[in-house]
Structures are given as structure tokens and as C-alpha cells.
């Protein structure tokens, strides 16, 4: 990962996205482009917003660029973020969340959810509290999408050397033979061994019955995870991040930062 788009409106939740990024051990050649999308009919507060975002990234070792763009409605904001991410070849988009489960009108929440639905690259949605990434929880179900998210996160998200990686399967297995058969725990052990051989990291696999989003949230809370990772199931004719999907429920209720990875 080389190019990251960090979109901010100056809210505390958006600043948290910058703090999360700054906590991670990125390399010095990493580029973060900070974008604030402002309503041209409102007072121009972009200098303060960009300064706050730069300050949040104070620990970041790479190089930072900034820009502003005009947009009046959440739909226009989402389209602007998508267009700039595409033009710069962003490997990841980072935004904040205002807690969709408790905020009915959403402003940034509608933007973060919309970006998660429409972006063609992975999207990081930051939620407080943010801290060094000591534990990452990755949800899998054996589908190609979930396994792609697993490998993308392990390869692309920098973490402290002593951080823990938890691979969590919940619900009925789908697709990949790694998860076929009756003994899920043994299959989880096989997957952990594969991760160890390929990436040189120790991963713990948990096999639990239950609704996937509920299980991932419970594990994240119990293990004090800093990030939940999920893939998005491709369903022909249906929006990729559909209402009622695991990703959508996590977008609303995850107790920590959320990474949504698309193929």
C-alpha cells in the first residue's frame, strides 16, 4: 500500500481516522492525501480542518498532501471522494464515523456509509477510541471475498510486531474447502498454519456458531480489538454493501475501527 486518501470534515470522529493512521507503523514512503470537501455556500473553515487533520497525523512518518473540493450534499461529497480516490490511485480510503446506531440524521455517517458502499478500494471507518493496533479481528466464512479481505489486511495493514491477529469464523461455512467438513477447529488450525507459512505471523483462529456480525462484535469487545476486518460478498444485481448485510451491521455497531475490503 502506497497511497491513502484521508477524507475529513473536522469532526472528532474524522480526526480519529487520522489518529488511527498515525498510530500504525507505516513506512516513510507512504503517502497520505488529506481531503476536506466543503460546502461553497457555507463559511470556509477548510484551513482549520486541514490543520487539525495534519496535527492528528503528527506521528505519521511518510509524506502528506492536502486539498479541498466543493460539494453541497452528502451524495456530492461521496462522489467527490470516490472520484479523487480513483484519480490518485488510492489503495485505501479513511473516513470517520459518527456512530450510525445513535445518530439518525448522520451527516458524516451518511458519507462514511456511502463511501463504504461505492468505493472500489478498501475503506477504513474510524471509531473512538483509537490506539495502537494491538489486536486485529478478521471475519471469514470461506467465501472468496472474506479470504481476499483476510490476505489483504495481513499484507497491507502495518501492525506492531507483538500485535495479535484473530481470524474469526461464525455461521455456516461458504465456498472454500478450508472451511468444509465437520471439525471447524481443525480447519481453523489449518488456516492458521497457512498464514504462518505465508506471512510469518502467528494467527489465532476462532470457530464460533452464531450470527456473524454479532459474533465479530462480541469477540472484538472481549479481546479489546482495535480493528475489525470484513469482506463484502458479491451478489449479482444487488448493491455490494446491502442493507442488512454483515458489513452494513458492522458499519453501524462495531465497537472499534472497521476495515471493509472489496475485491
Res 156: pLDDT: 95
Among 135-139, 195-199, 207-211, 219-223, which stretch is predicted with the lowest mean pLDDT?
A: 207-211
Judged against a pLDDT cut of 70, whether residue 30 lies above it is answered with yes
Cα–Cα nearest to 259, from 93, 89, 45, 131: 93
Task: State the SS3 of the chain.
Answer: CCEEEEECCCCHHHHHHHHHHHHCCCCCCCEEEEEEEECCCCCCCHHHHHHHHHHHCCCCCCEEEEEEEECCCHHHHHHHHHHHHHHHCCCEEEEECCCCCCCCCCHHHHHHHHHHHHCCCCEEEECCCCCCCCEEEEEECCCHHHHHHHHHHHHHCCCCCCCEEEEEEECCCCCCHHHCCCCHHHHHHHHHHHHHHHHCCCEEEEEECCCHHHHHHHHHHHCCCCEEEEECCCCCCCCCCCCCCHHHHHHHHCCCEEEEECC
Judged against a pLDDT cut of 50, whether residue 99 lies above it is answered with no
Class of domain 135-261: alpha beta
Judged against a pLDDT cut of 90, whether residue 104 lies above it is answered with no
Task: State the SS3 of 187-227.
Answer: HHHHHHHHHHHHHCCCEEEEEECCCHHHHHHHHHHHCCCCE
Kind of pairing between the strands at 123-126 and 203-208:
unpaired
Mean pLDDT of 22-31: 94
CA distance 38 to 243: 28
Confidence class for position 174, pLDDT limits 50, 70, 90:
low
Confidence class for position 173, pLDDT limits 50, 70, 90:
low
Judged against a pLDDT cut of 60, whether residue 84 lies above it is answered with yes
Mean pLDDT of 16-29: 94
Domain ranges in the chain with CATH number 3.40.50.620: 3-126, 135-261
> Which residues partner with 130 through β-bridges?
none
- Looking from the CA of 166 toward its CB, the CA atoms found within 13 Å total 25
Among 49-58, 66-75, 94-103, 246-255, which stretch is predicted with the lowest mean pLDDT?
A: 94-103
Res 241: pLDDT: 53
Confidence class for position 82, pLDDT limits 50, 70, 90:
very high
What is the chain's mean pLDDT, rounded? Answer: 85
Mean pLDDT of 75-96: 95
Contact 167, 191 (CB under 8 A): yes
Task: Write down the CATH number for the domain with range 3-126.
Answer: 3.40.50.620
CA distance 114 to 108: 10
Kind of pairing between the strands at 257-261 and 123-126:
antiparallel
Burial class (CB in 10 A: 0-12, 13-18, 19+), 46: middle
Confidence class for position 234, pLDDT limits 50, 70, 90:
low
Judged against a pLDDT cut of 70, whether residue 14 lies above it is answered with yes
Amino acid at each position: 500500500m502506497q497511497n491513502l486518501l484521508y477524507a475529513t470534515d473536522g469532526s472528532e470522529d474524522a480526526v480519529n481516522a487520522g489518529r488511527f493512521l498515525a498510530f500504525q507503523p507505516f513506512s516513510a514512503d507512504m503517502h497520505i492525501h488529506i481531503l476536506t470537501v466543503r460546502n461553497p455556500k457555507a463559511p470556509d473553515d477548510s484551513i482549520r480542518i486541514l490543520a487539525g487533520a495534519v496535527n492528528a497525523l503528527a506521528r505519521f512518518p511518510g509524506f502528506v498532501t492536502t486539498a479541498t473540493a466543493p460539494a453541497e450534499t452528502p451524495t456530492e461529497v461521496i462522489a467527490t471522494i470516490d472520484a479523487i480516490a480513483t484519480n490518485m490511485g488510492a489503495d485505501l480510503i479513511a473516513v470517520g464515523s459518527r456512530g450510525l446506531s445513535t445518530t439518525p440524521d448522520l451527516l458524516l455517517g451518511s458519507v462514511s456509509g456511502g463511501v463504504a458502499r461505492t468505493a472500489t478500494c478498501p475503506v477504513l471507518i474510524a471509531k473512538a477510541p483509537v490506539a495502537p493496533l494491538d489486536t486485529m479481528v478478521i471475519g471469514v466464512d470461506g467465501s472468496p471475498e472474506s479470504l481476499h479481505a483476510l490476505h489483504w489486511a495481513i499484507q497491507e495493514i502495518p501492525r506492531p510486531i507483538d500485535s495479535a491477529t484473530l481470524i474469526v469464523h461464525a455461521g455456516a461455512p461458504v465456498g472454500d474447502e478450508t472451511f468444509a467438513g465437520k471439525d471447524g477447529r481443525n480447519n481453523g488450525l489449518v488456516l492458521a498454519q497457512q498464514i504462518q507459512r505465508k506471512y510469518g505471523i502467528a494467527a489465532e483462529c476462532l470457530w464460533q456458531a452464531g450470527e456473524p456480525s454479532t459474533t465479530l462484535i462480541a469477540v472484538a469487545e472481549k479481546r479489546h480489538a482495535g480493528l475489525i476486518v470484513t469482506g463484502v460478498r458479491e451478489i449479482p444485481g444487488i448493491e455490494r454493501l446491502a442493507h442488512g448485510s454483515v458489513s452494513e451491521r458492522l458499519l453501524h455497531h462495531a465497537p472499534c475501527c472497521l476495515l471493509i475490503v472489496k475485491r
